[in-house]
Amino acid sequence: MAMSMFFNCLGLGDNKKIIIWSWCNEYGSLTPYEPLVSNKIEEMFQTGTQSMNLGIVEPTLSNYQLDLANMKQIRLASGKQRTINRLLLFNDHVLAKGIIWEFQAENIWTSYDIDISNHLEIAYQQNASLLDLQHFGQPYKIDFQQWIQIRYNSGTQRKIRRRALSHQYQTENFTSQLSVQSQGGIQKQKKHVSRAHPYNTLQVATGSSNLLNSLTPASSVHKRTTVYRQVSKPFLTDTSKKEAVTESLPTVQKITLDTLGATPFLRSGLEVLGRYMIGVTQNIDKNDCAICCDKLNEPSSYGDNMSGSSDVVELCFCKHQFHKLCLLTMYNSVHKGNSLQCPCCNTIYGEKTGTCPPGTMEWYIDKDLHLAGYEDYSTICISYHMSPGIQGPEHPHPGQRYKARGFPRTAFLPDCNQGRKVLKLLIEAFVRRLTFTIGTSTTTGEQNTLTWNEIHHKTESYGNAFGHGYPDPKYLDNVLMELASHGVVE
C-alpha cells in the first residue's frame, strides 16, 4: 500500500505511461535497465545524442556503449551487439508500481523479462503457490513458497526475489495519434512525431485493450512504435503453417534396453567383411588406402610384412578399395557387430548397431507446450533414463565403470508429421543401441562417460542460443540426415 501511494504521488495517473529502456537478450527476452540508467538514456535520447557510454551513469557498465541512432548496445570488449528498445508501459504494470522480479544466477541477481515479471507479480498477488512458465515459452516453474525457480528438464533450482525499486522510471503522456498494423500477437504502431530518425518503442499493455480500438491512422510516419501485448506465448514467433497431421504415432511409449552387450557377435571379422567385399588383383586404385594412407599397390603399414598385407579388397556397392588388413583392423577396433560402414563415403553394409548400455526411452505428448516455430502444434517430449554401470566387451575399457551424467535427459519434437517421423526413427535408433555411446565428453572432457552418439537432440524447449532448442527450421531435416548416416531410415 505504501509503495502504491508513493508512486501515485509521482503522478502516474490514468493517462501516464512510464518509459523504460531495455535490451534484448539471445532468447528474445526484454531485460529492463535500472531506473537511473533508463532515465539517463531517455534524457540523452531526447537531446538527440547519437551515442553514449553507460558508465556515465553506472561505472560497472562502462564496457557498454549505446548506439542510439541504430538502437544497439555494444559490448566494447567483444564488439557483441544487442538490440535496445524504448518501452511505454501502462501504469498497472509491475515496474510502474515500483517492483521488479529477479532470479539469482552464479551469485548475480538478474531481472526477469518485462512480461514474465508482470506474470509473476499477478500470480504473487493472487497468492499462487506455483506458476508454470512453460505456458509463456520458458522451461521453468516458480515455487512461491520456497522462492525458487526450477528448470523442468534438469531440476536446476535458482533463488528468486521480489525487489522494490529505489528510484522511479520517467513518465510520459501518450496521447499522440497512432496507426496500427497487426502482426500476430505483436502489433506494430506508427506514431507521427517530428523526430527525424526511426527508433523502436514497445508499449506494453497489461490492462484494457480499448486503446487500440480508439486509434486513428497518422498521415506521415517518422517513428515506429510497437505495442507489445501479453499473450499466452509472448516470445514465440509463428513460422509454421498448420498442416493436417496424418503420420501415425508409435504404439509403444516405453522402450527398455535391459541387457548389456545385447548386440550379438556371432561372426568373426573376416566372416562379416566377406559378405561385403571382393578381392581385387587388377585395376587397383592409384589413390592411397584411406585407412593407412599408404599406396594400395604397397603393403599395409598395419601388416609388418605379414602374409596378406598386400591384399586389396573392394566394397561391393560403393566400390571403394582398401587393404584387406586395414579394413579388418578398422572393424576390430570399433564396435564389432554384423555391419560395416565405408570410411570413405559412409555407405552402411548390413544393419548398423551401437554400444548403448542398458536404459529406458519413453515419450509422451504435451498439449500445453508449443515450440517456437511450431506454435500450432503440441510437443513430443522424449525422456532417456540411463544409469552408471560396468563396461562390457564392446566398450572402450571393459570391466571399468562408466558414468551417466545429466540423466534423465529430455528432448523435444513438434507433434507434426515430420516430428512424428523423427520420433519413430529415434526409437529405432535407440533399439539398435545407437543413441548413446561410452567415451569422452566433448563439453567436460570427462572420460568413460555416456555421451550423445552424433544424433542431435533438442534438449531445450525455449531458446536456441546454443543450438539446443527452437526455433530451428532445419533441425528436423538435419536429424533425419544424421539418422540416415547411421542407417536408420524408413
User: Where along the chain do its domains lie?
Assistant: 1-98+165-235, 254-261+354-485, 269-349
- Are the C-beta atoms of residues 71 and 87 closer than 8 Å to each other? no
What are the backbone dihedrals phi and psi of residue 479, each rounded to the nearest 5 degrees, phi first?
-70, -30
What percent of the chain has pLDDT above 90?
A: 36
**Domain 1-98+165-235 architecture:** 2-Layer Sandwich (3.30)
- Tell me the pLDDT tens digit for each residue of 104-150: 987 889 999 998 999 999 999 999 999 988 777 788 899 999 999 99
Q: Residue 274 has what pLDDT?
A: 83
CA distance 322 to 303: 13
CATH topology match: 1-98+165-235 vs 269-349: no
Asked if CATH classification 3.30.56.10 holds for the domain at 254-261+354-485, the reply, yes or no, is: no
DSSP code of 56? G
Segments in the chain below pLDDT 50: 1-13, 174-240, 260-266
Q: Is 329 exposed, middle or buried (0-12, 13-18, 19+ CB in 10 A)?
A: middle
Asked if CATH classification 3.40.47.10 holds for the domain at 269-349, the reply, yes or no, is: no
H/E run at residue 423: helix 417-431
CA distance 119 to 333: 56
- Tell me the pLDDT tens digit for each residue of 419-469: 999 999 999 999 989 999 999 887 778 899 999 999 999 998 877 767 788
Pairing of strands 72-75, 186-191: unpaired
pTM of the full structure: 0.48
Q: Is 237 exposed, middle or buried (0-12, 13-18, 19+ CB in 10 A)?
A: middle
3-state SS assignment for residue 327: helix
- Are the C-beta atoms of residues 218 and 191 closer than 8 Å to each other? yes
Sign of the CA dihedral with 444 first, then 447, 450, and 456 last: positive
Q: Residue 196 has what pLDDT?
A: 32
CA distance 317 to 411: 36
Place of cell 548475480: 108
**How many residues does this entry show for the chain?**
490
Cα 458-461-467 angle, rounded to 5 deg: 45
Closest CA to 240 of 39, 473, 482: 473
Judge if the upstream peptide bond of residue 234 is cis by omega within 30 degrees of 0: no
CA distance 350 to 338: 7
- Are the C-beta atoms of residues 455 and 482 closer than 8 Å to each other? yes
What are the backbone dihedrals phi and psi of residue 111, each rounded to the nearest 5 degrees, phi first?
-70, 140
